[in-house]
Amino acid sequence: MDEETLKAFDHSIEKSLPQGSELVDFNTWIIDKYREWVGNKVGNEGSLTAYAEYLGINYEVVRSWVSKTGKTARDYRHVDALAKVYGINVYHILGIDPPDPSLNSLPPQSRQRFLAAMTEIEKQIGLRNLSLDSPEALELSERIFAEHGIIVTDAKRSSSSGNLS
């Protein structure tokens, strides 16, 4: 990375952080990771394009993270790609919960849909102060799952009506 590009990165970092802030935000973190990755690479070997390929993320997306706009990773595919390279710490830096390891067998889109539904269910049950065993909590959960495109069937209820799902 040339000196001018480094100065532009430093300037964008300074503008994105509150005065006196010592917290590492995502943009600072990703720029530091890029610098570490560049190391002693020369020429195109250390280019942002090569780094994006290394991460498995589109160049334009990575460029937006390290540019003056300082965008943050939010797309689950990008976050998952970063986590594959840098580990679970990525989720903490972004301020989002890491996926439950037991959900890793689901495709990423299904996993995200399920986690979003679960987050909403937990929030709504808490706000309504419902018992987890209550029929209201079950009905609420099934409705929220359906809103997220997840259809919940109860084999016991379905079999009693002669319809197994």
89 alpha-carbon distance from chain centroid: 11
Looking at residue 4, its pLDDT comes to 47
Burial-class residue 92 by CB neighbours within 10 Å (0-12, 13-18, 19+): exposed
The answer to whether residues 145 and 152 touch, using CB atoms and an 8 Å cutoff, is: yes
- Output the average pLDDT for the chain: 78
Looking at residue 140, its pLDDT comes to 94
> pLDDT band at residue 49, thresholds of 50, 70 and 90?
very high
Domain boundaries, the chain: 3-98, 102-160
Q: Report the range of poorest mean pLDDT among 15-24, 61-70, 116-125, 144-153.
A: 15-24
> pLDDT band at residue 157, thresholds of 50, 70 and 90?
low
Write the single-letter amino acid at 60: E
Write the single-letter amino acid at 131: S
Q: Is the pTM of this model over 0.85?
A: no
Looking at residue 36, its pLDDT comes to 92
**In this predicted model, what pLDDT tens digit does every residue of 75-109 receive, in sequence order?**
878 888 898 898 888 888 888 878 777 777 788 88
Q: Cα angle vertex 72, ends 149, 126, to 5°?
A: 45
The answer to whether residues 139 and 124 touch, using CB atoms and an 8 Å cutoff, is: no
The answer to whether residues 18 and 25 touch, using CB atoms and an 8 Å cutoff, is: no
3-state secondary structure the chain: CCHHHHHHHHHHHHHHCCCCCCCCCHHHHHHHHHHHHHCCCCHHHHCHHHHHHHHCCCHHHHHHHHCCCCCCCCCHHHHHHHHHHHCCHHHHHHCCCCCCHHHCCCCHHHHHHHHHHHHHHHHHHHHHCCCCCCHHHHHHHHHHHHHCCCCCCCHHHHHHCCCCC
Looking at residue 23, its pLDDT comes to 44
| Mean pLDDT score, 34-53 | 90
Q: Report the range of poorest mean pLDDT among 20-29, 42-51, 110-119.
A: 20-29
Looking at residue 2, its pLDDT comes to 41
